[in-house]
Every structure is written in structure tokens, then in C-alpha cells.
Amino acid sequence: MKQTGLTLIELMISMVLGLMLLAGVSSLFQANKQTFQSNQSLSQIQESVRTTFGILSRELRQTGYTKCGNGNNVASILNSTANENLYKWRGIYGVDKNVVLAPIVTGTGVGERVADTSAILVQGLQELGYSVAKHDTTGQFILNGSTMPFQVNDILMVCDYSQASIFQVNTVSGNKLNYTKASANPGNCQLGLGLPGGCANTPFYIAYSPNSSIERLVSSIWYIGNNGRTEEGGRSLYRMRLANQGQVLTEEVVAGITGLDIDYHLKDKNSWNTAAEVTAITNGWQQVDGLKLRLSVISANSNVGGNRNDGRLQRTFTQTIALRNR
């Protein structure tokens, strides 16, 4: 009788060939998956860097903008508080690694600054296009136009060709706003808007002339903070900013930014300086006309970049930015 079907040896050979084919397909799938994850991680890193440099470049180029061109002659009548660095006019001010920049706290909590990273204060004006119709020394501004863009407790800057002043709004009615001596947060300590300002000096009362500019103060501190998402790398670019009505908000801006180093260029100099070196120079921050940013960026995906950083890809990027208002 003729034998039909497969022998045991033929069956075993078929199984081995099938397993080899399956192993090849699995290996190809894993390779494609690894390539996809690597490309995805590189794309995420590039997008994070593009976004970060775009935002910071726009902010930094406008730093120190007062609309009147006299950022070095600014009087403030605000009380001293824990958030003073956001109210005190500097235009631009930075700190090196592990140097405190209040009110930001360095630590491991969500939103807290990561140790061994730089931070920078950037200030300017929100240009709404409003100007003064009338001002007297009793603490009232009447604005040109019939609308009022400002709110109670807003921090404003008014300026003319000779100087600028920072104060807090206490009441608003129609196109009129008033500022009084008050203990709000932060509140005004006096009513004299003339130089030198401050709470310890004798008030110097001035009246701003018609068509003087009046705008909302914009002030932000940029830093690297903990985002609490360790599965994505755990760090982000953060911003603490002065918002409407004197509020201070902390916001996560771009995830995956793990390091920030900043060097500063001074006008008519041929070298880069650390923040400490700029601070040590008389009026050093008023001479800064350029910055060099170095960003360290990490991918959210793990197991794509070797054994370091939990297998995450990490890249470092550098960009130089020139300030426009210097």
C-alpha cells in the first residue's frame, strides 16, 4: 500500500522553517519599530527646540522695551514683596546655576526650579496703544479715548521722553484710573512718580504731560522646572510671569527641556560673560546686547538612545540672540 502524508522528519523541518520565518518577520518588525521610535524622538526633540528658541527669541529681542526709549530712568513706587523681582525694573537680569532668583524656589516639587540650571528675568511692555490725556499729582490719570483697557491691581508703566514710572492701579472708572498709597499686593508706598522713586526716598511729585505713553508691565522669569512626569523625562521649560491684576502665574511652556545655560555679550566687548561677571560690572546689565543660549533636550520615548538617561535621546543646541532695545 502506498504511503501518503508527511513523515515526522518532514514535519519537523517545516516547523523549523516556519519558526525561522517568524523570527525574521519579528526581527524586521522590531527593527522598524525601533527606527520609528528613534525618528519620532528626534522629531519631538526638534519640535521642542524650535518652539523654545522661537518663544525665547521673541521675548528676549523685546526685552527692556519701554516705548519711550528711557529704560535706564525708571522710578517705582511699589512696595517691596516676595515677588519684587517681577516688579522691580531691570529690563533683563540673569543668574547662573544654583544662584537664587526669587520668587522661584529651587527643589524637586512640580514647578520648582531644577538645581544646576540658569534662569533669566525678561521685562517689557504690553503695547496696547494707550496714552495720557491728563495727569495730576493727586494720583489720577485720564486716558485718551473712551475705553479703559486696564483693571484694578494692574501693574502699569507710564513714560515720556525723560523718564518712566511703575505703579499699581487701585480704582478704575470710565477712562480714569487712580493710584493711592495702599498695602495691596504689592501696593504703592507713595504717590510721587518722579525719580528716584522707591519707598525709602522722599517722594518727588511730577505730572506726566498729555500723550505720555501708559502700558501694562510685562515681566517673566524663564527657567527649567520639574514637571512631575518622570515617564517623559521629568523636566520642562517654565515661565513665572506677572499677569493681569498683579497676579503671579507659573506655567509649563515646553516639555523635554532639561538644561539651560546662558552667556551674555556686552556692548563693544569681544567676549561672552556669565551672569555673575555681568553683575560685577557697574551697570553691567544695561550694557547687555546679546545672549547665547544652550539648551539640553531629551526625548519622551525611552529605550531609543543607549543606556544613559533611561535610554532617551538627548541633544544640546545653541543659539545666539541680539537684543533690539540696546
Q: What is the mean pLDDT of residues 210-234?
A: 95
Q: What is the pLDDT of residue 86?
A: 95
Q: What is the pLDDT of residue 11?
A: 72
pLDDT at 305 over 90: no
Can you tell me the distance from the alpha carbon of 74 to that of 226, in angstroms, rounded to the nearest whole number? 35
The strand ranges marked E within 139-298 are: 140-143, 155-159, 164-168, 171-173, 176-178, 213-226, 235-242, 248-255, 257-266, 272-273, 288-298
Q: What is the mean pLDDT of residues 215-236?
A: 95
For the entire predicted model, the pTM comes to: 0.87
Q: What is the pLDDT of residue 30?
A: 65
Query: What separation in angstroms does the CA of 120 have from each of 156, 233, 246?
Result: 21, 23, 20
* Cα 50 off chain centre by: 15
Q: What is the mean pLDDT of residues 76-89?
A: 93
